[in-house]
Structure 1
Amino acid sequence: MYLINGELTAHLPANDRAVQFGDGCFTTARVVNGKVRFLEQHIDRLKHACEKLLIPFVEWSLLETEMQQMAAAEQLAVLKVVITRGQGGRGYSAANCLHPARLLSVSAYPGFYPQWREQGISLALSPIQLGINPHLAGIKHLNRLEQVLIRTHLEQTSAQEALVLDSDGWLTECCAANLFWRKGSQVFTPNIDKSGVNGTMRQHIIACLAGSSWQITEVREKLDTLAQADEVLICNALMPVIPVNQAQSWRFESRELYQFLAPLCE
């Protein structure tokens, strides 16, 4: 089911800049019992992305209402919201793009997430590295070719998710999730000021840990730092948090941090 600028349709104009240039941003939210989980955070994420991309979207109240309306009939589902710069000419200039477009869609909730939460998953190092771009780092823009390639390579392995480095070799994230690891009472997550996505669940977990007895630090580390970890987990708005059994050849038995975070992320 698609709602594009308030109309039930699956058709987007061919000259929309999302089609031509990937010119836009998006967020993906979990719907539970007719409600959008972390609705305010998803709206804030879109606002921040539009500011960074200089997209003059202003219909935030209408968008929030549409999100709530589409979620109302769903017990457990995925709500995706895309904002594009709208229709434009052939070239890169956005000077005449005055009417951003909003696209909302609802799809089934991934059935494997409950099993992942119960059993844990494995991570494999991706051969695809993320390009460094501090201006775009953190936001979920529509240029996701890196993630498409990461997923394509991941599907050739037996792992459920990927460990992704940036082009300088720093540990950054997973294909569709953020990464955390624990050593004792210290919890770490990659600094994503140069590449990667600042997920809504990542932000929520950092806030939860900041007000707890755990010590949370954003770091820039190489892959082998995970060899010293007691526990590893990943997160996104849909999962919402998943324990990791194995990353490369390193195995992790502890669920201490996961058990603390899981009820706070529901």
Structure 2
Amino acid sequence: MFLINGAYQTHLPANDRSIQFGDGCFTTARIVAGEIRFLSLHIARLQQACQRLFIPFTQWQTLETEMTEVARSQDYAVLKVIISRGSGGRGYNPTQCDNPVRIMSVSRFPDFYAEWKNTGVTLGLSSVRMGINPSLAGIKHLNRLEQVLIRAELEQANQHETIVLDSDGMMVECCAANLFWREGEAVYTPYVDRSGVNGTMRQHIMAELTRQGRVVRQIRATPDALLHADEAFICNALMPIIPVRQAIATRYTSRELYSFLAPLCE
């Protein structure tokens, strides 16, 4: 069941722009013991996305209250929140869309993340490239066809996740996670200013490392950069952080940085 504008229902108008054009944004949060982990980061993400997409959503307190109430009855689950521009306007023109729609749903938490934490994951290399578009980069908008294609390819491979490049051949992220690696004391993560998603856990990890006096370098790099890494890990709001045991053909045994960060991400 979905909570749509405060009412439990399962239907949207066929002319809702989230259906017509993918015109909206979303976030996916982890519920633990009735509370949403990193709630403020999820709200900030939605606010930034609405600002970037010119969606006139203003009911932030109502949204946060509903999110909190929905989570309260859950022990360990996944909360997805969508903000659609709503219905109205003709064609692509959004100027007559003054009533954005808020949508929430709860689903079961994925069981396999616990196993991934113990064993580590293997990363392949996707043949699907991400387009470069600074206007949409960083935010989690509803246009996810690139991820659908990446995931469809991943389902045919013998890897847990896959590294995704942009159209220039630079690493961006994984299908549903951000990527970090360590070389000596230096920590790296790809830029997401031209494509990809600036995940809430990515933001949290960068902030934690900065507080600890560690330098995190955002760079544009090809997959060859991983050949020289001492360790690597992936993250998102649900995992929240998973060690990488192999990226393409490179194996890692160190979990030094992962072990330091894991308790700070729970």
* TM-score, with structure 2 as normaliser: 0.99
2:161–2:174 Cα contact (<8 Å) kept: yes
* Number of residue equivalences: 266
For residue 263 of structure 2, what is the aligned residue in structure 1? 263
Q: Distance in 1 between matches of 2:98 and 2:213?
A: 48
- Give the residue type in structure 2 aligned to 1:33: A
Find the counterpart in structure 2 of residue 144 from structure 1: 144
RMSD: 0.7
- Which blocks of at least 5 consecutive residues in structure 1 are unaligned? none
Structure 2 Cα separation of the partners of residues 99 and 183 of structure 1? 49
Amino acid at match of 1:10: T
1:86 alignment partner in structure 2 = 86
SS of the residue aligned with 1:264?
helix
Q: Is the 8 A contact 1:30 1:238 kept in 2?
A: yes
Report the residue type matching 1:166 in the other structure. Answer: D
The answer for unaligned runs of 5 or more in structure 2 is none
> Matched residue of 1:156: which SS?
coil
Pairwise CA distance, 1:95: 1.3
SS at match of 1:195: coil
**Contact preservation (8 Å) 2:89, 2:95:** no
CA–CA separation in structure 2 for the residues paired with 1:214 and 1:46 = 28
Question: SS of 1:135's equivalent?
Answer: coil
* Offset, 1:212: 1.5
Report deviation, 1:239: 0.2
Deviations along 1:29-83, one digit per CA (max 9) or x if unpaired, are 0000000000011000000000000000000000000000100010100000000
Alignment of 1:100 onto 2:100: yes
Name the CA distance, whole Å, in 2 between partners of 1:89 and 1:194.
Answer: 29
1:3-33 Cα distance to aligned partner (Å, 9 max, x none): 0011101111110000000000000000000
Native 8 Å contact 1:15 1:89 kept in 2: no
Structure 1 runs of 4+ aligned residues shifted over 2 Å read none
Q: Distance in 2 between matches of 1:260 and 1:34?
A: 26
Equivalent residue number for residue 63 of structure 2: 63
2-structure distance, mates of 1:213, 1:253: 24
- What is aligned with 2:235? 235
Residues 163 and 171 of structure 2 are in contact (CA less than 8 Å); yes or no, is this contact kept in structure 1? yes
Residue in structure 2 matched with residue 119 of structure 1 by the alignment? 119
Q: Which amino acid aligns with 2:238?
A: L
- Displacement after TM superposition at 1:214 (Å): 2.8
Q: Distance in 2 between matches of 1:174 and 1:249?
A: 16
Contact 1:5/1:103 (8 A) holds in 2: yes
**Preserved CA contact (<8 Å) 1:187 1:217:** yes
Partners of 2:65 and 2:241 in 1: how far apart?
27
CA distance in 2, matches of 1:90, 1:162: 39
Aligned equivalents of 2:127, 2:240: Cα separation in 1: 26
CA distance in 1, matches of 2:215, 2:41: 23
Please report how far the alpha carbon of residue 90 of structure 1 lies from its aligned counterpart in structure 2 after TM superposition.
4.4
Other-structure match for 1:22: 22
Q: Within 1, Cα distance between the matches of 2:111 and 2:253?
A: 24
Give the residue type in structure 2 aligned to 1:68: T
Query: In the aligned structure 1, how far is the partner of 2:155 from the partner of 2:140?
Result: 22
Structure 1 residue aligned with 2:189: 189
- 3-state DSSP of counterpart to 1:146: helix
- In structure 1, give the amino acid aligned to 2:216: I
Q: Distance in 2 between matches of 1:250 and 1:47?
A: 39
Is 1:139–1:197's contact at 8 Å kept on the other side of the alignment?
Answer: yes
When the two structures are superposed, what TM-score results if normalisation uses the length of structure 1?
0.99
Q: In percent, how many aligned pairs have the same letter?
A: 61
What SS does the corresponding residue of 1:239 show, helix, strand or coil?
coil
1:31 aligned partner:
31
Secondary structure at the aligned position of 2:181 is classed as: strand
CA shift, 1:213, in A, is 4.2
